Amino acid sequence: MTTDRNEWELLKGLASNDRKSIETIYRTHYSMVQTLVINNSGTSDDARDIFQEALIVLYEKARSGSFELHAQIKTYLYAVSRRLWLKKLSANKRIAGDLANAAETIATEEDLEMYEHRSRDFEMMEEALLHLGEPCKEILESYYLRRKSMTEIAKEFGYTNADNAKNQKYKCLMRLKKIFFGHYNNNNQD
């Protein structure tokens, strides 16, 4: 089956952040989700948000090494978007209409639960980093997210040597962990 082969390639590309794959998926399925959202009392901005969220769900699923969708990308994205939009509608107390009555095409429950869980972690980390302030935020992001070496960072931030930069990074890291785990442990207790 050539289509399956193609889809598998696309998912692999998605997992490795291949720009071409992302673009292809985006271009192919955007209008389907847009129609879904707009026909169910949403705007084109809502449609963009929902579609991008659905893509994140797919991305994180693929990145965890699972390319087994048990469905085509199209079907999967539709089901996930539909669930996400229904949720948003009910959160805003808007009427879902026919959308709520339509039968579930495939089960996405687990994936969405995972997505929501990770979204909470994401927001906590974002918040903690914002709370941390500069230059700590920038130093830690350079080191952990952009994978720069401590020597590079020392040069960039004007520290006299790498050891000073390391010391600063250590202090920042301790503060960030304190803020983050403060929220994280609170959140995971209940």
| Residue of 141, 3, 162 lying closest to 72 (CA atoms) | 3
The one segment of 30-38, 70-78, 80-88, 106-114 that binds another protein by CB under 8 A: 30-38
Residue that is written with structure tokens 């600063």 in the block: 168
At 160, the amino acid letter reads T
Minimum CB distance to another protein, residue 1 (Å) = 27
The answer to whether 22 and 14 have CB atoms below 8 angstroms apart is: yes
Binding of another protein at residue 159 (CB under 8 A)?
A: no
The one segment of 37-45, 73-81, 82-90, 131-139 that binds another protein by CB under 8 A: 37-45
The one segment of 83-91, 98-106, 154-162, 164-172 that binds another protein by CB under 8 A: 164-172
- Residue 43 or 107 having the CB closest to another protein: 43
Long-range contacts of 98-104 (CB under 8 A, 24+ apart): 98/40, 99/36, 99/40, 104/79
Binding mask 135-154 for another protein (x = CB under 8 A): ---------xx---------
Minimum CB distance to another protein, residue 174 (Å) = 8
Q: Is 99 left (phi over 0), alpha (psi -120 to 50) or beta?
A: alpha
Q: Report 78-137 residues binding another protein (CB under 8 A).
A: 118, 121-122, 125-126
**Where would I find the H helices in the chain?**
2-15, 19-38, 44-63, 73-91, 98-101, 109-132, 136-140, 150-156, 162-189
Residue that is written with structure tokens 């994140």 in the block: 56
Binding of another protein at residue 161 (CB under 8 A)?
A: no
> Could you list the residues that contact another protein (CB under 8 A)?
17, 19, 22-23, 26-27, 30-31, 34-35, 38-39, 43-44, 48, 52, 55-56, 59-60, 63, 118, 121-122, 125-126, 144-145, 166-167, 170, 173-174, 177, 180-181
